[in-house]
Amino acid sequence: MRGLIVPALLLFGCAAKVVRAPAASESPVVKSAPAASASSASPETAPVKESEVSALSLSQVQLPTGSFKHLSLGSRGLCALRESDGSIVCVGFGETEQVAELPRGPFVEVAGDGAAGCAIDAARKLRCWGAVSELETLVKGRAIQKVVLRSEDGCALLSGAKLVCAGELAKDAPKQALDVDTQGSSGACAVLQSHQPFCWSFHKTQLSGPLEKIAVAGWGDCGLDRQGMVACTGTNTQIAAQRFDELRGGFNHFCGTENGKLRCIGLADFGETLVPNVTVRAFDVKGRRTCWIGLDGALACAGEGFFVGPQASGVREITVVEECGCTLGTDGAVRCFGNRCGLPGGVLEGTFKSVSADKSSGCALGLDGRASCWGEDLASVPQEKLASIDVGLAIACYRREADGTVGCFTDADFRRKPELLTPPRGRFDSVEIGITWACGLRPNGAAECWGYKEYSDDEYELKPAPKDQRFNRLSVGYNHICAITKDARDAVCWGRDRFGETKPQQGPFIAIDAGEVKSCAVRESGELLCWGREDAPRSLPQGRFVSVAVEKYNDERKAAIVCGVREGGEVACGRY
């Protein structure tokens, strides 16, 4: 599904990816020929090195700039308080629009998002907006110690350990508490004056006291005792005993601070635990996101819709998948970023000439032609020397070095489709795989595709490659294919066409890549050209490039990340 083309002085191979070097305690395990046993990443992830914060920002959400002192994550967006005047600034996630008029500051704390939230002023008085305004009425101007919100419900902790809740959270809520927290549809929990936990609104806990603080997540809760040691129950991952000063929970992860240093524990399906090793002014956790304010006042986030790309030099190839990506370095190193595409530690030990990955697995081809793979979906690694290998969604196709014939494999039951796993016989010079189709180029440049019809709609049906044309480059996207013709070096695409992603383009081109509803190519001049669904704002990187990568599996409603690699190995990314 890759379509990366590099000049002759660079090694040519399958799509690649990048992240930080692993911590000393991390030991990435991969499967190589002969196949080894599957392994998975440790549920506790070391913080990203401070030097990585200068890497490329590939976030879907444009965060506000400036200096801030407090922030809050909601289900629909984020709000922060400017350091200069205590005013509220909010941004929405995805296509969410701010629907409420925000109160004027100055404020010292904020909770919620632009649609519904509350803020606390210097006198600890509460001001709310949107559907949670009832909470402001209930507290009757009394001083607030803490406020927590759940969509249209919320609770406020007053002086004297009095707890006031609004909306559905008001039912069965205790009258007094030492601490309180809520999370999405998971209900709420409080620490009673007896230091025992109490949960309500469809949330149960097996925690036992004595506790001082409590944090609720989507699949469990954690508590802190008098020494700040954490104890958790009902979570999807084991959390080792450790100390925090503050702790907050998301969907499947927790983040906390100790002496101002931020660290996260739990699952990182979207990179939500991959936070920089820095001291923070404030932080918050919600769903699959983590956001924080550094000592310089800058706002940053990790997780769904937020991830950081590779350092912008020393790269041969790059590919970007939804919430992750990988690079192949000029030194042959494979590194993955974002949620690391399932690669433990984000770095693959060894020297490689190509790498390809999807959202949770991948394979790299060593200099000796042996494949090394990671992820449970690709445990059955071919035990022969390969000329190339390409990874789609939980499935990989490869070319044998001996005769150029093609094979495909998967360990995922849902991908055991005979139409994909039985490629045509004979020699191929290249092979690529997407979601439901795979394609290869014969020695004479003819394209041949195979696969299955996954959907009932005719627009997803496999369409044959043009028989009257010959190609020298090929890229298989989500459900369409693009190739560069041998003679004129024009771009020709076929397959599903919803937004013009298969529209032919006049060259000459030197590289091409097909995404979900976008296609991009590199002109002979080095300029990037993209076509397909156009989303605003668009900001393609400028300059001369030798290869291009379009984000795979990205939500078709969002602008796709587009990254280019220059001849010197510098990476530049933008959106289309």
How much is the average pLDDT of 54-76? 85
Same domain, 394 and 293: no
Same domain, 325 and 298: no
Same domain, 359 and 245: no
Residue 36 forms part of a structural domain: no
How much is the average pLDDT of 461-471? 88
Pairing of strands 571-575, 561-565: antiparallel
Residue 7 forms part of a structural domain: no
Same domain, 410 and 522: yes
For residue 290, which phi and psi values (nearest 5 degrees)?
-135, 130
Annotate 128-178 with DSSP letters as a single string: EEGGGHHHHHHHTT--EEEEEEETTEEEEEEGGGBEEEEGGGGTT--SB-S
Of 243, 275, 303, the position where a domain reaches its end is 303
Helix (H) or strand (E) holding 77: strand 77-82
Same domain, 88 and 156: yes
pLDDT of res. 10: 29
Same domain, 293 and 314: no
SS (H, E, C) 25-73: CCCCCCEECCCCCCCCCCCECCCECHHHHHCCECCCCCCCCCCEEEEEE
Contact 461, 473 (CB under 8 A): no
pLDDT of res. 7: 31
Q: What is the CATH number of the domain that holds 408?
A: 2.130.10.30
pLDDT of res. 76: 87
Of 26, 78, 71, 81, nearest to 274 (Cα)? 26
Contact 80, 74 (CB under 8 A): no
Of 268, 303, 338, the position where a domain reaches its end is 303
What is the extent of the structural domain holding 160? 59-303
Residue 438 forms part of a structural domain: yes
Per DSSP, helices labelled H in 432-561 are none
pLDDT of res. 460: 61
Q: With 60 as the cut, is the pLDDT of residue 483 above it?
A: yes
pLDDT of res. 454: 66
Residue 353 forms part of a structural domain: yes
Same domain, 94 and 145: yes
Work out how many domains the chain is built from and give that number: 2
Contact 493, 514 (CB under 8 A): yes
Same domain, 408 and 503: yes
* Average pLDDT in the chain: 86
* Predicted confidence (pLDDT) per residue in 525-557, tens digit: 999 999 998 876 678 888 999 999 999 988 777
User: Which has more pLDDT, 511 or 9?
Assistant: 511
| DSSP letter, residue 420 | H
Which residues have C-beta within 8 Å of that of residue 32, sequence separation ≥ 6?
Answer: 366, 370, 371, 372, 373, 381
How much is the average pLDDT of 349-360? 94
* Predicted confidence (pLDDT) per residue in 248-262, tens digit: 999 889 999 999 999
Same domain, 272 and 375: no
Q: With 70 as the cut, is the pLDDT of residue 39 above it?
A: no
How much is the average pLDDT of 158-173? 94
Share of the chain above pLDDT 70, in %: 88
Of 350, 439, 362, nearest to 394 (Cα)? 362
Per-residue pLDDT band at 471 (split at 50, 70, 90): very high
Residue 500 forms part of a structural domain: yes
Is 501 strand, coil or helix? coil
User: In sequence order, what are the beta bridge partners of 126?
Assistant: 120
Residue 131 forms part of a structural domain: yes
**Tokens coding 298:** 């800058």
Same domain, 403 and 325: yes
Per-residue pLDDT band at 338 (split at 50, 70, 90): confident
Residue 327 forms part of a structural domain: yes
Separation of alpha carbons 501 and 495, rounded Å: 9
User: Which has more pLDDT, 315 or 59?
Assistant: 315
Amino acid letter at 131?
A
User: Which has more pLDDT, 208 or 296?
Assistant: 296
Pairing of strands 261-266, 280-286: unpaired
Q: What is the pTM of this model?
A: 0.78
Residue 228 forms part of a structural domain: yes
How much is the average pLDDT of 286-294? 94
Strand order in the sheet with 88-92: 68-73, 77-82, 88-92
pLDDT of res. 48: 46
Same domain, 402 and 508: yes
Same domain, 208 and 314: no
**CA end-to-end span of the chain, whole Å?**
19
Of 283, 303, 323, the position where a domain reaches its end is 303
Contact 447, 441 (CB under 8 A): yes
Q: On the CB side of 460, how many CA atoms lie within 13 Å of its CA?
A: 12
